[in-house]
Amino acid sequence: MNTKISALTVSVTWLGAMAILAAVIAGTGRFGESLTAFLPRSGSTVQRALVQGLHTGEAAHILLLAIRGGTGSERAHVSRVLARELGRDTGEFSLVANGGQGMAQGLAAFVFAHRYQLAPRTSWTVRALRHDLRRDLAILESPAGLSAGRMLADPTGAFMAAARPWERVRGPRVRHGVWVSRHGRSALLLLKTRASGFAVGPQRRALERIRTGFAHAARGTALALTIGGTGAITVAANDKVADSAKVLTIIDLVLVTGILGFVYRSVPPLAASLVPLVTGALCATAITGLVFGRLAITTLGFGTMLIGVAMDYPTYVLLHVRPGEHVSRAARRVGRALGLAMAAMVMGFSTMMGSHLAGLVQLGVFAAIGLVAAAAAARYILPFMMPAWQPTADLGAWDARAARFSAGLRRMRAGVVVVALAAGGMLWARGPRVWDNHLSALSPASHALMRKTGRLSHAFGVPGLSSLVVVVAADREQALSRSAALQPVLAGLRHAGALGGYQMAAQYLPSRAVQRRRLQALPRSSVLRRRLRAAAAGLPFRRRAFRAFITAVARARHAPLLVPADVPAAVRARVDDLLMRVHGRGVAFVQVTDVRKARRVAQAIAASKVAGVHYVVVKRAVGRLLARYRAALLRHALIAGALMAVVIAIGLRSLREAARLVLPMAAAIVTACALLVATGPGLTLLNLVALLLIAGLCMGYALFLGDNGLVPERRGLAPWVCAAATITGFGVLASAPVAMLRSVGVTVSAGALLALIFTAAWSARRTPPVAGGPHG
Amino acid sequence: MLLKTVAHAVHRKVHFTEVNHLASLKYPVRTRGTLEYVKPDTLVMTQSAPRQAIYRIVGDRLYVNRTRRGVPVSRFPGVIALVSGFEGLLSGNYALLNHDFTTRLQGDRKAWRLVLRPRLTVLRKALASVAISGHGARFARIVTRAPNGDRSDMRILP
């Protein structure tokens, strides 16, 4: 009775502690976006700017909507109602456009008022003016003439020139007063969310808002809505992972519970099996979050996977409970082995803490804390939750089977060597081609949705973020003027068909030097009046029509220079996206669209000799960041492996035993790699992390399979049970519809199987299953 | 009913003459040429005087002569009125007209007059009204007035 009460106390206390940890995580935990984890801590401004640009740039905020079905006027009507309704929600959307509006609010007035600073013109000769006036006359005599009443207030067309960058050069067509797709079968809307497209929660809210708005607007019609854009991809990917994870978790639970239930034949051990993993994960999340302030999602995912080895700890403890024995005694018996395995892994992962990649440091800390906490829970908490538990099943027959199987495998050692060598040789021959460098390999997003977004973006003429020119300078003003220096180069490239177009802040807001030059070029009123008279000679203009023009020029000559803060709020985001401060330096982005000759563009930009200019192909640059992370992880994994071997050799006090343990592990990992490379597109970062998990699992198998004297009265069946649970669990994941989950599932289940077979082949001795005293 | 009658009738080229009285010019501009509406959203105006020019209005963009890059019609409210009037009348789409303009129809099928006034303030700044009159299925005259007193008087020749 007493033991029951204390068991209850321990359980309740543990639950309370976990609840506190969960509250700590919920209260203080801030989870960062994953890409920043790939950044070197001392990364270059270009890299930082790139990541910042990817996450805050215009492209990440845009949602594209298409309304299909029904008739054209029905679609137009719904488009208008929806735009009006969503436009009211200024908290969620910074822009709602369906083609019904002209320029953004306040922008036209701003551009008109400052047209002589914004327009790229400095020639005010009689000749230039006469050229303008002839053109004006042609317009006045055209069908547009009647609308051009105010034209002579701006006879040089400065407003048009200044407004050009602000207008979408290739917007969609308009039918029934709203944007439509090329074939006119769907109405299009463009939305900009305030939240980044990578923020799941706000994006889900925005999508929800759009869908209810549409349902409301389209009530009683047969119209359908399609939503594309970064936000839609983010949410869909998240839902897909969550959905498949839900179903698979249930299948997993049933199967793993079946295996463990067959072994234990009672409920408490099943529940207690989760104690170490939960303890480890919660402790690690809470502490890492507190230490770093911000936990990358990647760290959380990878880290939890690494400490998945803790699922084996309770099995090792509980399977070693002998009839009539307290669980804590069994825990003490296996404690040394578990402690050694844990210490080896922790030592291994601690090398990551010295990495220069923020993500790896976090991962190392997370895994180390998680493993220590999990092992401590298995050794000191779990046994006291169910101190008097007794094994009820007679597994003697299974022990014998496992022993026979191990003995059988032992005879095939030569085969293991051959397989491992062949696998190693194959990896060697492939060289760097073993890596899968496609970014999508790491993304859970569906390709269909990405394609859809691509099509929608094309219909809108929204620039896909494919390449960028990043201009780094001491401050924003300098970055602005340097990027402006690139303009002739880019214009030349566009003219030559090497690229489709470009966007830079300097088009919207010229640098102060340029503004000053333009204003200084403006003639004095008397001079302007004289030149204008000369230019208009023989043309039918009334002289008084130019009065407003002369006043405007006179006023502009003394106008203050514009700064980013002067741009109307509705469109300031576009300037802010292209001109930023990153780590105290000024960074200007030039978005380059539709690059057809990448090499030529790169060469021309390099040849421009503008200081601080970097041409970045986004996909390649992000790929390079990932490759660096991967290389660092690989390097640390190898160091970790070596360190693990050393720790094990010290723990076992025998080099031979350590080799017996580590070599099969290495062979299993190499073979698993070769298998993955041979059957799939190649290895990714995820595979690498999964392989680290296998190293941990394998260590457990080896310690409990071999006669290394670490575990008195070792039970050979334990690793087989552990492996069966792991292989089943991750095997289910291998059937997931999300490539990312599938890859992890295949890697771990195949790796665990190989690890078990290889270690069994190498360490099994013909010893009775549950017998044998301590060896020296 | 009237709109339907008109809509059925016009798919051919019509000749026009136009007189524009503009405050900024010393004398009125007299133009002539042809107008052609091509379903669903193209209006082609070919001017033969005072200068040779072709204006194509496709959807929301205006293309001058053979240029491939058009400018948004939204810059020229007068053109919007012209296009909307033509498109609305010729496609029989009254809803389209009603979206941008308040409409008033006078007369009967023999002799009718449709007056359009812009609803949007943006349009109203540059356009006061458009009056389209005709007989049966034929346009006869389009008078466009700007707020500053500028006026265009276009006659469609039989």
A-chain CB neighbours of B46 within 8 Å are none
CA A143 to mean position of chain CA atoms? 53
Tally the domains of chain B.
1
Question: The tokens of A460 are what?
Answer: 């809108």
Q: Does A607 touch chain B (CB under 8 A)?
A: no
Mean pLDDT of A190-218: 87
Q: What pLDDT score was predicted for residue B1?
A: 44
The closest CB to that of B23, out of A142, A144, A149, belongs to A149
pLDDT above 50 for A537 = yes
pLDDT above 70 for B11 = no
Task: Classify A559 as helix, strand or coil.
Answer: coil
3-state SS, one letter per residue, for A534-559: HHCCCCCECHHHHHHHHHHHHHHCCC
A592-611 b/e with 16+ CB inside 10 Å = b?
A: bbbbeebeebbebbeebebe
Which residue has better confidence, A287 or B73?
Answer: A287
Nearest to A121 by CA among A520, A496, A615: A520
pLDDT above 70 for A671 = yes
The closest CB to that of A176, out of B69, B79, B96, belongs to B96
| pLDDT over 70, % of chain B | 72
A-chain CB neighbours of B75 within 8 Å are 144, 147, 160
CATH domain A394-444+620-776 topology: Multidrug efflux transporter AcrB transmembrane fold (1.20.1640)
With CA atoms as reference, the chain B residue closest to A80 would be B99
Which residue has better confidence, A742 or A59?
Answer: A742
Q: What pLDDT score was predicted for residue B60?
A: 67
- For the ranges A70-79, A526-535, B37-46, the lowest mean pLDDT is seen at B37-46
B-chain CB neighbours of A459 within 8 Å are none
pLDDT above 90 for B147 = no
pLDDT above 80 for B35 = yes
Are β-strands A31-32 and A295-296 bridged in parallel, bridged antiparallel, or unpaired? parallel
Give how far B108 is from chain A: nearest CA, Å.
28
With CA atoms as reference, the chain A residue closest to B31 would be A141
Q: Does A176 touch chain B (CB under 8 A)?
A: yes
| pLDDT over 70, % of chain A | 88
> Locate tokens 């400018």: which residue?
B71
pLDDT tens string A350-366: 888 877 777 778 888 99
Cβ separation A142–B55 shorter than 8 A: yes
- Segment of A130-134, A409-413, A456-460 carrying the highest mean pLDDT: A130-134
DSSP conformational letter for A508 = H
CA distance A373 to A286: 12
B-chain CB neighbours of A548 within 8 Å are none
Cβ separation A143–B55 shorter than 8 A: yes
Give how far A236 is from chain B: nearest CA, Å.
35
pLDDT classification of A418: cutoffs 50, 70, 90: very high
With CA atoms as reference, the chain B residue closest to A545 would be B24
pLDDT above 70 for B96 = no
Q: Does A55 touch chain B (CB under 8 A)?
A: no
Angle (CA) A107-A108-A112 rounded to 5° is: 115
Q: What pLDDT score was predicted for residue A714?
A: 76
pLDDT tens string A469-528: 888 888 888 998 899 889 889 989 989 888 888 888 888 888 888 899 999 999 999 999
The dihedrals phi and psi of B16, each to the nearest 5 degrees, come to -140, 160
pLDDT above 90 for B123 = no
Q: What pLDDT score was predicted for residue A98?
A: 80
Give how far A141 is from chain B: nearest CA, Å.
6
Which residue has better confidence, B27 or B4?
Answer: B27
pLDDT above 50 for B8 = no
- Segment of A274-283, A595-604, A732-741 carrying the highest mean pLDDT: A274-283
pLDDT classification of B157: cutoffs 50, 70, 90: confident
> Locate tokens 């200007």: which residue?
A588
Q: What pLDDT score was predicted for residue A775?
A: 38
- For the ranges A535-539, A603-607, A739-743, the lowest mean pLDDT is seen at A739-743
Question: For chain B, what is the mean pLDDT?
Answer: 78
pLDDT above 90 for A305 = no
Task: Classify A632 as helix, strand or coil.
Answer: helix
Instruction: Quote the domain boundaries for residue B12.
Output: 2-156
Q: Does A142 touch chain B (CB under 8 A)?
A: yes
Region label for A425, one of left (φ > 0), alpha (ψ between -120 and 50) or beta (otherwise): alpha
Give how far B129 is from chain A: nearest CA, Å.
12
Cβ separation A147–B22 shorter than 8 A: no
Cβ separation A147–B100 shorter than 8 A: no
Would you tell me how many other CB atoms lie within 10 Å of the CB of residue A307? 29
Task: Find out whether A62 and A191 touch, Cβ atoms under 8 Å.
Answer: yes
Mean pLDDT of B103-126: 82
Cβ separation A149–B126 shorter than 8 A: yes
Q: What pLDDT score was predicted for residue A776?
A: 31
Mean pLDDT of B32-60: 81
Question: For chain A, what is the mean pLDDT?
Answer: 82
With CA atoms as reference, the chain B residue closest to A541 would be B25
Q: What pLDDT score was predicted for residue A18?
A: 92
B-chain CB neighbours of A176 within 8 Å are 96, 99
Question: The tokens of A173 are what?
Answer: 């067509």
* DSSP states along A102-146: -SPTTHHHHHHHTHHHHS------HHHHHHHHHHHHHHHTSTTGG
pLDDT classification of A53: cutoffs 50, 70, 90: low
Cβ separation A146–B96 shorter than 8 A: no
pLDDT above 70 for A147 = no
Nearest to A770 by CA among A397, A456, A230: A397
Query: What number of H helices and E strands is found in chain B?
Result: 4, 11
Domain ranges (residues) in chain A? 1-32+265-391, 394-444+620-776
With CA atoms as reference, the chain A residue closest to B45 would be A143
Are β-strands A93-97 and A186-193 bridged in parallel, bridged antiparallel, or unpaired? antiparallel
| pLDDT over 90, % of chain A | 18
Nearest to B153 by CA among B21, B3, B39: B21
Q: Report the CATH number that the domain containing residue B21 is assigned in CATH.
A: 2.50.20.10
Complex ipTM above 0.85?
A: no
Q: What pLDDT score was predicted for residue A209?
A: 93
Task: Find out whether A661 and A702 touch, Cβ atoms under 8 Å.
Answer: yes
Q: Describe the crossing of helices A126-140 and A525-535 by its angle, rounded to 10 degrees.
A: 60
With CA atoms as reference, the chain A residue closest to B40 would be A175
pLDDT classification of A706: cutoffs 50, 70, 90: confident
pLDDT classification of A367: cutoffs 50, 70, 90: very high
Residue type, B50: P
Cβ separation B76–A147 shorter than 8 A: yes
With CA atoms as reference, the chain B residue closest to A172 would be B60
pLDDT above 50 for A407 = yes
Which residue has better confidence, A287 or B83?
Answer: A287
With CA atoms as reference, the chain A residue closest to B71 would be A169
Domains A1-32+265-391 and A394-444+620-776 share a fold: yes
The closest CB to that of A541, out of B24, B55, B93, belongs to B24
Q: Which CATH superfamily is domain A1-32+265-391 in?
A: Multidrug efflux transporter AcrB transmembrane domain (1.20.1640.10)
Cβ separation A174–B59 shorter than 8 A: yes
pLDDT above 80 for A99 = no
Mean pLDDT of B125-132: 84
pLDDT above 80 for A387 = yes
Contacts of the segment A402-407: beta carbons below 8 A, 24+ positions apart: A402/A716, A402/A717, A402/A720, A402/A769, A403/A716, A403/A764, A403/A766, A403/A767, A403/A768, A403/A769, A405/A720, A405/A760, A406/A705, A406/A716, A406/A760, A406/A761, A406/A764, A407/A764, A407/A766
Cβ separation B79–A145 shorter than 8 A: no
Q: What pLDDT score was predicted for residue A102?
A: 54
Q: What pLDDT score was predicted for residue A17?
A: 93
B-chain CB neighbours of A142 within 8 Å are 47, 53, 55, 64
